[in-house]
Structure 1
Amino acid sequence: MMASSNRSKLEIAQERRARDSRIQREAKQRGTTPELIRKQVAFALFFQRIFSQEDSRWMLLGGNALLIRAGHGRFTQDIDLSRDEQWNDLSDVQEEIEGLLRQGDRADDFDFTITKIASYSEPDNYGYGAKTAKITVRVDFGGKQFDIFTIDITSRKHITSAVERLQLKPVLDDDALTDLPKIPTVPAENHMADKICALYEKHQGDKKRPSTRYRDLADLVRFVQDIPLDANRLALVISHESHRRKIIPPQRLVAPDESWTTKYPQAARDFAQYPPHLLPLNAALEYVGTCLNEILNGTRTTGHWNPVNQQWEETTRP
């Protein structure tokens, strides 16, 4: 589903080589792989199309939302999207997304094709018991494969508070990544509450199996490092989420399991731009705890987290 730019094969080949070189340079500068940078470009091109209109019924969740919010950090391998209503048939979802891709087409010689869509047997990652599915998307440029990525989709009632729209910024300098849209996502406090509850929720249907989602703690590090937060809202949504998931969060941030002592540093080493001094588990817990412990133990319900000063302040949100 592509409107051609009517450029010659030579011009397209030249652009492909130039883009590949920029991807290589950006990966080296960021200390990551060219494959991950390429995938972020593909994601941006996808968002550019499906969020071309502000009244989208879709919302971005997960690591991509945090990456856009913080402007740096752990790159993701896939996309998490939620739809405001459950679907009756996956073919309807495929047609809907394909329609959005056509509607937002840029005539830039990129072509998006849904190659597979299938239902999940597992419940959604956010504890809503909603339908879930995985979509595989192939991205071509000038008739040749540029990337393949997957999208995890779920149906989820959009939050009652105002949806936040985050400005998408290009991962590298590229003419194809201009006029990027604002991306609808949940407020930072809701996203953070999801991460906190996921740490202490038993997973995969085994009530005795602790979380092994090491990226959740790494993402909490990024929230504390970069994101302004409202204490009252954070306390309320943590209470709501923990009650809904039937868990009791701890009074202070602790490891979900003893195995995290060795396994968390091993995993965190591979997270892009993760602070090296916070690789030890206790260091990460203590750092995030400076923000969260007062919320978890109920001693703070007002104020705003200032990520620059790394403290709670009884002032307006930065």
Structure 2
Amino acid sequence: MCKSSNEPGGPKRCSADMRARAQKSHDRVAALEQRQREIEQMLDARRTYGSEGAFRAALNARIRDIARRSGIDGAEIARRFALQQFVSRLFDRDPESWLVTGGAALQFRSMEARATADLDLAVTRGVEDLAEALTAASRRRAGEHGEFVVAVSAGSGPGAFTGKITYMLGGSRFAVAKLDVAVGRAFPFEPDTLVPDSVVSIDDVRPMSRVRTYAVASHLADKVAAMYEVHGSSGASPSTRSHDLADIVILSRCARVDAEELRGAVRGQEQRRGVVVPTPLVLPSEQWRRSYPARVADAGLPAELRDADAALAEADRFVGAVLDGRISSGTWDPDRRSWTPK
């Protein structure tokens, strides 16, 4: 029997008390875990599709219908669906460690975005084992179907990792995407948070999680500065990335941005890359007039914006006007496609 604390040699808390407290805590955790398992079993039992094979067949039927109506390639729709599922699981379990950049970030903003085979992620806080963290965060949630296989290896530069994610359904591959991960990259603006529209509407899929993406100002600044970077050993070869112009136009049609933030972001990229963005905006070379239409063939842009000069005029009204002082302050309205006063 434990001695009281005021008795000689009596501890403030005896070992028996501590064992009882530990057992009570253990039992509480075990009960919570059991309840969690019961909830997961209930969600799995309520699934519309009784097997991954049935879900896969229904998903393929939905994708074929979307491809027929939209003109988007079915394999691209499947890849977009898989990317959404992967990223939704990632941010559901760990919303603060990741940031979506690159083409996938644009796809999450707009269905007009170009096709991409990549998922670009930035790690915004410490992750000890990247592959393990990605695998754990993307595991199947109750009520869903399919698992992701993640392979990651060190890339060519410091803090760079490359790999691929494979979405498995019914024991076989459904879709694959390349994975590029940046660790330790600095971002000058707070990320944007959004909930992407679902690519495919189907049962047994949870609502999309809130996703952190590259800030619009930063995304635009990257694209604009990249247009005017020169390459080659002599530094005389203009950029051939005419898809950067397409991405600027797509952002003009789906995103709001503050004029002062945009100007500051572009000036920062000019300094970092050693470029000067001309105003009004110009095509980096005549070759863009030939390459641009092919680069936007799989994008959802209207016909009038599949011409390089028309796209350039739209981009200049959006970005060039902020850089040359035509617009000093305000917010871009993507619905009206014009700058509005604050």
Pairwise same-fold verdict (TM > 0.5): yes
- Aligned amino acid, residue 304 of structure 1: T
- Aligned amino acid, residue 59 of structure 2: R
Q: For residue 101 of structure 1, what is the aligned residue in structure 2?
A: 138
Matches within 5 A, 1:141-160: 141-160=169-188
> Are residues 179 and 310 of structure 1, via their aligned partners in 2, closer, same or farther at CA, if it must alter by over 3 Å?
closer
C-alpha separation between the residues in 1 aligned to 2:253 and 2:169? 37
- Aligned amino acid, residue 81 of structure 2: V
Q: Does 1:82 align with 2:101?
A: no
> Are residues 175 and 10 of structure 1, via their aligned partners in 2, closer, same or farther at CA, if it must alter by over 3 Å?
closer
Matches within 5 A, 1:48-197: 48-53=88-93, 55-84=95-124, 92-102=129-139, 105-106=141-142, 108-114=144-150, 116-121=151-156, 130-197=158-225
- Aligned amino acid, residue 136 of structure 1: K
C-alpha separation between the residues in 1 aligned to 2:234 and 2:221? 22
Equivalent position SS for 2:115: coil
C-alpha separation between the residues in 2 aligned to 1:252 and 1:177? 46
TM-score, with length taken from structure 2: 0.79
1:20 counterpart (50, 54, 60): 60
Q: Does 1:46 align with 2:74?
A: no
> Are residues 61 and 16 of structure 1, via their aligned partners in 2, closer, same or farther at CA, if it must alter by over 3 Å?
same
**Deviation digits for residues 232-259 of structure 1 (CA, Å, limit 9, x no counterpart):** 1111111111111111111221112221
Specify the structure having the higher radius of gyration (Cα).
2
TM-score, with length taken from structure 1: 0.85
> Are residues 290 and 147 of structure 1, via their aligned partners in 2, closer, same or farther at CA, if it must alter by over 3 Å?
same
- Aligned amino acid, residue 153 of structure 2: A
> Are residues 169 and 178 of structure 1, via their aligned partners in 2, closer, same or farther at CA, if it must alter by over 3 Å?
farther
183-192 or 62-71, which deviates more: 62-71
Deviation at 1:267, TM superposition (A): 1.9
C-alpha separation between the residues in 1 aligned to 2:280 and 2:222? 16
Q: Is the 8 A contact 2:88 2:211 kept in 1?
A: no
**Deviation digits for residues 96-115 of structure 1 (CA, Å, limit 9, x no counterpart):** 2112123x63452301112x
2:245 counterpart (217, 232, 235): 217
**Deviation digits for residues 107-133 of structure 1 (CA, Å, limit 9, x no counterpart):** 52301112x433333x6xxxxxx5322
What's the C-alpha RMSD, in Å, of the aligned pairs? 2.6
C-alpha separation between the residues in 2 aligned to 1:63 and 1:8? 32
> Are residues 176 and 219 of structure 1, via their aligned partners in 2, closer, same or farther at CA, if it must alter by over 3 Å?
farther
Higher relative contact order (CA 8 A, sep 6+): 1
Q: For residue 126 of structure 1, what is the aligned residue in structure 2?
A: none
**Deviation digits for residues 72-94 of structure 1 (CA, Å, limit 9, x no counterpart):** 43232221111126888xxx211
> Are residues 201 and 87 of structure 1, via their aligned partners in 2, closer, same or farther at CA, if it must alter by over 3 Å?
farther
Deviation at 1:202, TM superposition (A): 2.8
C-alpha separation between the residues in 1 aligned to 2:130 and 2:231? 27
